[in-house]
Amino acid sequence: MYKKILLVILFIFMLTGLTSPAMAKTCCEKAEEASATAIFADAVFIRPFWLACTVLGTGVFVLTSPFTLIGKNIGHSAEVLVAEPAINTFGYPLGSY
């Protein structure tokens, strides 16, 4: 079971790495060359933080979605808890922060 989970996570990271250059041109108006230090800091510290925020936000969204349906603000909740962290995780080229 542990190996299957590890393979799925590895596949997601590989897939994300292959699509990042294609997304870089569409998300940013001007893709500038980043320094190695900026890319390293982004890959080691910033992206894992936003990935954790995306996972935790998705969990909170799922748990609170019945209440947000009652309050009729599920779109705003999805935007804040899931979409924004996901865009910050996968939407920009490495070193752009």
Domain boundaries, the chain: 2-90
Residue 65 — pLDDT band, cuts 50, 70, 90? very high
| Residue of 56, 41, 63 lying closest to 86 (CA atoms) | 56
> What is the secondary structure of 22-39 as a DSSP string?
HHHHHH-SS-PPPPHHHH
Assess contact for 94 and 39: CB atoms under 8 A: yes
Bigger pLDDT: 14 vs 88: 88
- pLDDT > 70: percent of the chain: 69
Q: Does the global pTM surpass 0.85? A: no
Question: Residue 95 has what pLDDT?
Answer: 87
The phi and psi torsions of 31 (rounded to 5 degrees) equal: -85, 110
Query: Could you read off the pLDDT of 12-44 as tens digits, one per residue?
Result: 666 666 555 555 555 555 556 889 999 999 999
Question: Residue 18 has what pLDDT?
Answer: 52
